[in-house]
Amino acid sequence: MRRTHPTTDVKTVAEPFPSAAPTVTGVDVVAVHAAHGDFVWASLQRLGARDADLEDRFQEVFLVVHQRGGDFEGRSRVTTWLFGICLRVVAAHRRRAWVRRERATDDVPETAAPATDSPERCLQQVEAEARLREILDAMDLDRRAVFVMSVIEEMPADEVAAIVGVPVGTVYSRLHAARKQFDETLRRLEARDAHRSRR
């Protein structure tokens, strides 16, 4: 089953996912999969996993959860721990020589919308998600990860720093650069679209 988390406005990006901190050491893989599968899928997308690779990366994340679930001690949210795994999985996949960074122009993510949405609303969601992915794809993984964690998932800077393995000051520096790049890329894409519409 395909999991998606549609974005309705590229500037506000998305609502954070609900999180749950466990009360016992370790995790139940089946329960984590049921509760946070959508979060993992969307995180992989936002970190740049190509649609053709998503299912494999998704399975890889839960293989790590199965293997290392006993390492989770409940000091952070489950989603924070899962996002760190997603980041490492995507980073390792990108390091392989055969992985291309560029996505095909027709490789637009499918976006599920409620059946009650109008066709216009569905189209807006698809276009906003595609635009967000296009902007994020222009960032390197360091900036992209910090932007996704800080802006989309609304994780505090200390959690982001712990996941990435850098000082909090570096998180703020990368976030500042990512926000600037996000705005510049968005303006460039909007100007491109306006130019095309005048043809």
Q: Read off the tokens for 60.
A: 């890889």
The residue count of the chain comes to: 199
Comparison of pLDDT for 162 and 110, the residue scoring more: 162
DSSP type of residue 13 = B
Band of residue 13 on the pLDDT scale cut at 50, 70, 90 = very low
- 117-199 is classed in which CATH architecture? Orthogonal Bundle (1.10)
Residue 23 clears pLDDT 80, i.e. is over it: no
Burial of residue 8 (CB within 10 Å: 0-12, 13-18, 19+) is middle
Task: Tell me how far apart the alpha carbons of residues 9 and 162 are, in angstroms, rounded to a whole number.
Answer: 29
Which tens digit of pLDDT belongs to each residue from 94-152?
A: 776 444 444 443 444 444 444 556 777 777 777 888 888 889 988 999 999 999 999 98
Band of residue 3 on the pLDDT scale cut at 50, 70, 90 = low
| CATH number 1.10.1740.10 is the correct assignment for the domain at 19-98 | yes
Task: Tell me how far apart the alpha carbons of residues 35 and 47 are, in angstroms, rounded to a whole number.
Answer: 20
Predicted pLDDT of residue 41: 93
On the question of a common fold for 19-98 and 117-199, the answer reads no
Residue 16 clears pLDDT 80, i.e. is over it: no
pTM: 0.66
Scanning the chain, the segments in alpha helix (DSSP H) are 29-46, 54-68, 78-95, 119-137, 141-147, 157-164, 168-197
Map out the domains of the chain as residue ranges: 19-98, 117-199
Mean pLDDT of the chain: 77
Q: Read off the tokens for 72.
A: 């989770």
